[in-house]
Copies of this chain bind each other. A is one copy, B any other.
């Protein structure tokens, strides 16, 4: 469950990124994250635990510093015991921003799930600290996470497996590399189980910056596909077999590009800065 927001405070931003975000020429997403975290006053902790590559954490440390962050340090976890260690907890409690890298989302949840570190990430976010994640790091942000799934098919009963995520919010379910890996079917399937959540499909190099007011704004070169099952007339998920396609009637879909917004509370989409339609 998401942590309670302290009276008079406001939640920090939650920033799922679709993976493969631009790092060299015009790193709009990472730059905005650094700015949000305080720029020169930023203190960003990078958690590279999802990744099995040695240099993932260092790479982001360097990137964030180049983008003007006052401080950026990685904090890796090899065992669940690491996630109870006082030194790490104290260090994380100072951060103004937390960044989860890509890799395998189940490495994050199996190592951190249920530990004091996971609890602290939720609590710090509720207290105003911004939490971003890319690819696997994006998937884990919400309460319900896509752990595995098939790509490139219509919604099918067995095409997606959910698992509990870090649980900063339960308002949405994230899917990343969205169009690059054709995940419309699996994200729709994830919603078909219980349509209360909103599906957020993030293209690569595209982020949803979700403010304390639950207004989502798109940054990056691709699109964010919002699947809103609130008006769902019918789902056959309760009666289909493993390999059968699922019947889903009445999904609302918005394809948002940079500058466009979606309010997770009112479920209203807006084109943002794009000039309003004339006809």
A interface, CB within 8 angstroms of B? 152-155, 178-180, 182, 184-185, 188, 203, 221-223, 225, 227, 233-236, 239, 244-257, 260, 269-271, 274-277
Q: In the complex this chain forms, how many copies of it are found?
A: 2
Selected contact of A234 from candidates B184, B203, B223, B277, CB within 8 Å:
B277
Q: Which residues of B lie under 8 Å from residue A184 when comparing CB positions? A: 184
Q: Are B152 and A277 in contact (CB under 8 A)?
A: no
Chosen A-B contacts, 25 in total, with CB atoms closer than 8 Å, are A152-B179, A152-B180, A154-B203, A154-B222, A179-B182, A182-B182, A227-B253, A233-B269, A234-B269, A234-B271, A234-B274, A234-B276, A234-B277, A236-B271, A236-B274, A245-B257, A246-B255, A247-B260, A247-B274, A249-B256, A249-B271, A250-B254, A251-B253, A252-B252, A253-B253
Known: A227-B253, A249-B269. 4 other contacts (CB 8 A): A155-B255, A239-B274, A245-B255, A248-B254
Q: Are A247 and B236 in contact (CB under 8 A)?
A: no
Q: Are A246 and B257 in contact (CB under 8 A)?
A: yes
Bound complex: CA A278 to CA B72 (Å): 52
Q: Are B236 and A152 in contact (CB under 8 A)?
A: no
A51 smallest CB distance to B (angstroms): 25
Name which residue of chain B comes closest to A248, CB basis: B255
Bound complex: CA A246 to CA B275 (Å): 13
Bound complex: CA A239 to CA B277 (Å): 10
